[in-house]
Structure 1
Amino acid sequence: MKKIQILLFSIILSLNFMLAQDTNSFSVQVQVENGIIEGNYDTHTGIQRFFGIPFAKPPVGELRWKAPQPLDNWEGVKETKKFGPRPMQTIVYGDMKSRSNGVSEDCLYLNVWTPADRNTKDLPVLVYFYGGGNVAGDGSEPRYDGESMAKEGIVVVTTNYRLNIFGFLAHPELSAEAPYKASGNYGLLDQNAALKWVNKNIAAFGGDPNKITIAGESAGSIGTSQQMGSPLSKDLIAGAIGESGAGINPTMSPVPLKDAESMGEEFAKNTGYPSIAALRKLSTREVYEIYNESKRFGFPTVLDGYFLPKTLPEIFKNKEQAMVPLLLGWNSAEIPGMAFTQGPYTKENYVNKVKEAYPKEYKKVLELYPHSSEKEIELSATALASDRFISYSTWKWFDLHRKN
C-alpha cells in the first residue's frame, strides 16, 4: 500500500510540474533546417523548451536496421512541446522514469532547453546521451532534464537513439545492402545524426556550433568515448564528459564485424525468420517479443570500418581521436559485489573467486581488496566488481587521451 501511495504521489508531482510549465508559458517559434518548430517560453524561468524535435526519418519499415536518413522538409509549423516516443525497450532498470509519449520504433527525436533571448548567440552547448546498457533509456528522463543547466547559460540537448535489437543488430545481408558495407551500430549512428543536427541548427537556439560538448553516463558515457574516437563525429565536438564508462575492454567494447554478423545470423535463424526481408516484414510487436523471448541483453557494438574503424586504444594511440578537453569520472558502486562473488560474502568464497580471476596476482588483489569480515568482503567485492566492469575502462580512456 505504501509503494502505491508513493507512486501516486510521484505521478501527481510530475503532472503538477508539467501543468505548471504549460501554465507559465507562451508559444515561441524557431526556424530550423527542415521547417518551423514551435515550443514553449517559460516566463517564470526564462527558459525556452522544445521537446520531440525530429532529427532523422522514422527508422521504420524498410528503414529498420539502416543508418539514420535525412529528414524531409515540412510545411507549416511543427509543434514540439511534448517529448517524442522513447526507443523500443522493456523495463530493465527500476530507476528509470520516463516522461515520453509511449514506446515506438519511431523514436529519433531530441529535446532542447535554451536560456537565449532574442539577442543571444554563441552560448556553449551540451549534448547528453542517456545510460541504460544500450538496451534501455530515454532522453526525457527527469534526471537528464536540461533546465537547471540552461539557467547557468548553457543550451542543453538530450537525444534518443535506437536500442537493443532495433539499434545494434548486425547481419551479413544488412552489411551487403549498406553503402559502407557494414551493419550494426545504428544507435551510435543515431547519436552522430543528432550531433550533425545540432551542428547545423543550434545557432537558431542561441548556441555556438563550435562549442558543442558531448556527455553521458554509463552506456551514454561509453557512447561519448566512441563518438570522440569516430571519424564521423570527432570534428563536430569541442569537448567531452564521460560519467562512468568507456568502450574499452572489458566494458562493452566492440567486436569484429564478422563476429557480429555471425551472431546476428544465428539469432535470425533461431527466430524462424532467417532473412532480413522476413524480419523487416514483422510488426514492431513481433520483433519486440522475439527479442525478449531470446533473453539476450542487447547486441555488441561493432568494428564496422565506418563509424568505428579501429578499437579506441588503437585510435587514441594513433592520435586520431577528437583533440578536445576531456572530463571524466566513475561511480564507486556501479554494480553489486554479488556480480563478482556469484555467491555468499564468505571468506572462502571470496578468496576462491579472487584466485580464479587473478591466479598469479591474487595475493596483491587480496591486499588491495581486504576480506577480514563479511561487511568488508561486501565492500571489497562491490569495489572490485565495479573496478573490473567500468572503472578501469574509464581510467584507461583518460590515460590514453592524456598520453596522446
Structure 2
Amino acid sequence: MVLASIFVAAVLIMTPSEAGPSNPRVAVEQGELVGRRDGTVVSFKGVPYAAPPVGPLRWRRPHPAASWRGPRDAGQVGAICIQPPSGGDPGVGPLPMSEDCLTLNVWTPADRAGPRPVMVWIHGGGFNNGSGTAALYDGTNLARRGVVVVTINYRLGRLGFFDHPALAAEREQGEPAANYGMMDIVAALKWVRDNAAAFGGDAGNVTVFGESAGGAAVTRLMISPEARGLFHRAVVQSGLGRDSGVPLDAPSAIGGPSLRDRGAAFARTVGATTAEALRALPAEALLNPAPNFYGGDNLVVDGQLVTEDVEAAFAAGREAPVPLIIGTNSAEFWWIRPQEISPYGAIDDALTSQERVDLYAAYGGEDGYRAHVVSDLAFNEPARHLARLHARNGHPTYLYRFDVVPDSNPEPSGGATHASERPYVFDNLHTVGRPMGERDDRAARAMADYWTRFATRGDPNGEGLPIWPGFGAERDRLLEFTNDGPVAKAIPFADRLDLIEAYYARVR
C-alpha cells in the first residue's frame, strides 16, 4: 500500500494533463500548481510542503520539498500518513496511506483579491490518527467567508514522535529530535509564510486552529521558539492544557520512562536494535501496540522545539502574545470513568480523601462525579486555567463552551461529546452522516462566522451575532454555543472547577 501510494503521487507530478487549461493556476516556490474551481472558491490539493520522510529521512527533521518542472495537478488530496484503522472517525480521510504524506490543501476565494487572512487547521486524533484530507475539513465554506484555508498532514504515532539510543547516536550536535510531527507542523507554517501571497493570503495574518491533539499542537506552537512569528492568532478546541510532556532522556514529570527508553523498549519487541534496522522496518510494524497520547509517548518535551510544559510556560508569560480562542465541549469524555486503568483514569488518583468527598458533593454524588470528572480534569478546568493566564498576561482571550446536540445524536452523552464541534466550525454538517436540523445550520453558521471574524482581526465579534465577552474584560465569562444559539454567561459548574484547580495547585 505504501509503495503504491508513492507511485501514484509520482504519476500525478508527471501527468498533469487531466488539469485542463481553464483550471486555476498558481506559482509557488517549487513550481506551478493546477487547481480546481467550485463556484466562488478555488482549491489546490495534495501540495508537498516537505520532502517525503522515507528511507534515510525517516526520523529526521523535515527537508524542503523538491521543485518540479511544468504544471503539477493539484486536483486530488495526497495520501494520509501511516496510522491504525480509524474506527469510523470522519476526521481521518480516504486511503491510500503512505509515509510520503507531507502535503497540504488550500482553499481560497476565486477572485484572489488580497491580502486575506489565512487559517491553518491542525487535525486531532491523539497524534496517532487523522489527516487534513477528510471531507469534514474541506475549507470551501470557510473560504466563502473571505479567508484562505490550509489543512495539513503531519507524521503520526512512532513515525512522528519517537526516539531510540541508536537514533540519538547518529544525530549531529544540535539536530532536533523525536518531535517530528511537531516539526512537520512548523515546516508547513513556514511554507505558508513563504507562499501565502500566491493564493491571495496575508502571511502577516495567520491563524492556527486545531482540535484535541491539534489543539494541544496549537498550545505547543504558542510556547515554541521555533514557531514564534509564524502565526498571529490561535484557536484551541479541546486541547488539554495541564498535560505533562515526556523528555527525551529523563523521566516525565508524572513518572514513567524517558521517550528514548520507551523507544528502546518498543524496538526490542520487533527485534530492531540499530538505526539501520529501525529504518528498514515496514511502517505498519510501528503501529502495534499503539503509542499513548495523554501522559505517554506522543507529547514530547524535546528541548528544542518544545522546551517545557504548556502550563508552566503560560504561567511564566512565555507564550506567544497573540489573541486566543480556547474552549471545550460540554460532555467531552463522557464515556471514560475515573476508575478505569488508563492515563485518563489515573488523573484523579492523587486526590486526598477530603478532596474526593468535596468533589462528590460538588457533582451531586458519586455517579455525577464518575460521569463528568475526567472531562473537567482533562479539558474544562485546564481551558479555564490557560484562559486566565493568557488574559492575565495582557493578551486578548475568548473562552467558549460548546453544548449543541442534534436531535439525531445517538449517544447518551448528556451533552456535546469530544470532537462534535468540528463540522460546525467548518460549516460542513453534511459530512457527519446523519440528519441535521435548522438549529444545527444556525449553530454552524454562527460558529464559522465567529472563527473567521477572529481570523480577520483577532476579535470574533461582529454585526449580527451575540457579543462574545473578552475573558480579561469580563472575568470568568464565556460564550456558550447552545441549541437555542450562542449565549454569554458565567462559566458553568465553576464550583467543580475551583476544587479541581485547588487539587492541581497542591499536586503540582
Could you say which TM-score interval applies, normalised by the shorter chain? 0.7 to 0.9
The 1:209–1:142 alpha-carbon spacing in structure 2 relative to 1, beyond 3 Å, is same
State the shift of 1:247 in Å: 4.9
Q: 1:30 aligns with which of 26, 33, 36?
A: 26
Q: Which moved more, 1:328-337 or 1:131-140?
A: 328-337
CA distance in 1, matches of 2:231, 2:96: 31
**Residue type matched to 2:274 in 1?**
S
CA distance in 1, matches of 2:371, 2:76: 40
State the shift of 1:122 in Å: 1.2
CA distance in 2, matches of 1:58, 1:387: 40
Q: Secondary structure, in 3 states, of the residue corresponding to 1:235? A: coil
Q: 2:164 aligns with which of 154, 171, 184?
A: 171
Is the counterpart of residue 142 in structure 1 residue 135 in structure 2? Answer: yes
CA distance in 1, matches of 2:68, 2:375: 47
Please list, as runs of the form range in 1=range in 2, the aligned pairs for 1:348-363 lying within 5 A after superposition.
Answer: 357-363=351-357
Output one character per residue of 1:328-361: Cα deviation in whole Å (capped at 9) or x when no partner: 1001222134432449xxxxxxxxx989744231
Residue 292 of structure 2 corresponds to: 297
Is the counterpart of residue 320 in structure 1 residue 311 in structure 2? Answer: no
Say whether the 8 Å CA contact 1:121–1:208 is kept in structure 2.
yes
Say whether the 8 Å CA contact 1:84–1:100 is kept in structure 2.
no
Say whether the 8 Å CA contact 1:221–1:243 is kept in structure 2.
yes
State the shift of 1:391 in Å: 2.3
Q: Secondary structure, in 3 states, of the residue corresponding to 1:209? A: strand
State the shift of 1:289 in Å: 3.1
Residue 306 of structure 1 corresponds to: 304
CA distance in 1, matches of 2:299, 2:349: 31
Residue 5 of structure 1 corresponds to: none
Residue 110 of structure 1 corresponds to: 104
Please list, as runs of the form range in 1=range in 2, the aligned pairs for 1:33-48 lying within 5 A after superposition.
Answer: 33-42=29-38, 45-48=39-42
The 1:390–1:355 alpha-carbon spacing in structure 2 relative to 1, beyond 3 Å, is closer
Say whether the 8 Å CA contact 1:126–1:215 is kept in structure 2.
yes
Q: 1:395 aligns with which of 363, 384, 393?
A: 384
RMSD across aligned C-alpha pairs, in angstroms? 2.5
Output one character per residue of 1:260-294: Cα deviation in whole Å (capped at 9) or x when no partner: 1111112112221111211102233xxx13532x3
Residue 248 of structure 2 corresponds to: 257
CA distance in 2, matches of 1:255, 1:247: 15
Q: 2:178 aligns with which of 161, 184, 188?
A: 184
Say whether the 8 Å CA contact 1:303–1:311 is kept in structure 2.
yes
CA distance in 2, matches of 1:338, 1:138: 25
Residue 9 of structure 1 corresponds to: none
Residue 118 of structure 2 corresponds to: 125
Say whether the 8 Å CA contact 1:146–1:157 is kept in structure 2.
yes
Say whether the 8 Å CA contact 1:116–1:206 is kept in structure 2.
no
Residue 6 of structure 1 corresponds to: none
Runs of 4+ in 1 over 6 A off after TM superposition: 353-356
Residue 96 of structure 1 corresponds to: 90
The 1:392–1:82 alpha-carbon spacing in structure 2 relative to 1, beyond 3 Å, is same
Q: Which moved more, 1:263-272 or 1:231-240?
A: 263-272
Say whether the 8 Å CA contact 2:49–2:103 is kept in structure 1.
yes
State the shift of 1:53 in Å: 0.5
Q: What is the TM-score when the length of structure 2 is the normalising length?
A: 0.66
CA distance in 1, matches of 2:290, 2:119: 35
Residue 10 of structure 1 corresponds to: none
CA distance in 1, matches of 2:385, 2:238: 12
State the shift of 1:98 in Å: 4.4
**Residue type matched to 1:35 in 2?**
G
Residue 382 of structure 1 corresponds to: 371
Total equivalences in the alignment = 359
Please list, as runs of the form range in 1=range in 2, the aligned pairs for 1:63-74 lying within 5 A after superposition.
Answer: 63-74=57-68
Q: Secondary structure, in 3 states, of the residue corresponding to 1:400? A: helix
Output one character per residue of 1:30-68: Cα deviation in whole Å (capped at 9) or x when no partner: 0001111110122xx310011111000001001111111
Q: Secondary structure, in 3 states, of the residue corresponding to 1:73? A: coil
Say whether the 8 Å CA contact 1:214–1:241 is kept in structure 2.
yes
**Residue type matched to 2:386 in 1?**
W
CA distance in 1, matches of 2:219, 2:390: 11
Q: Which moved more, 1:148-157 or 1:381-390?
A: 381-390
CA distance in 1, matches of 2:169, 2:392: 38
Say whether the 8 Å CA contact 1:223–1:247 is kept in structure 2.
no
Say whether the 8 Å CA contact 1:85–1:104 is kept in structure 2.
yes
Say whether the 8 Å CA contact 2:160–2:180 is kept in structure 1.
yes
Greater fraction of residues in helix: 1
State the shift of 1:146 in Å: 0.8
State the shift of 1:112 in Å: 0.4
Say whether the 8 Å CA contact 1:155–1:207 is kept in structure 2.
yes
State the shift of 1:382 in Å: 2.8
Q: What is the TM-score when the length of structure 1 is the normalising length?
A: 0.83
State the shift of 1:400 in Å: 2.4
Q: Which moved more, 1:60-69 or 1:296-305?
A: 296-305
Residue 270 of structure 2 corresponds to: 271
CA distance in 1, matches of 2:206, 2:176: 28
**Residue type matched to 1:256 in 2?**
P
CA distance in 2, matches of 1:393, 1:176: 37
Say whether the 8 Å CA contact 1:171–1:183 is kept in structure 2.
no
The percentage of counterpart residues that share the same residue type is: 37
Q: 1:81 aligns with which of 69, 75, 85?
A: 75
The 1:186–1:247 alpha-carbon spacing in structure 2 relative to 1, beyond 3 Å, is farther
CA distance in 2, matches of 1:135, 1:159: 15
Output one character per residue of 1:162-216: Cα deviation in whole Å (capped at 9) or x when no partner: 1111110112332343442452111111110110000110111011001000000
CA distance in 2, matches of 1:312, 1:106: 30
Residue 349 of structure 1 corresponds to: none
Which 5+ residue runs of structure 2 have no aligned equivalent? Answer: 1-17, 250-257, 342-346, 394-508
Q: 2:331 aligns with which of 330, 333, 354?
A: 333
The 1:97–1:361 alpha-carbon spacing in structure 2 relative to 1, beyond 3 Å, is closer
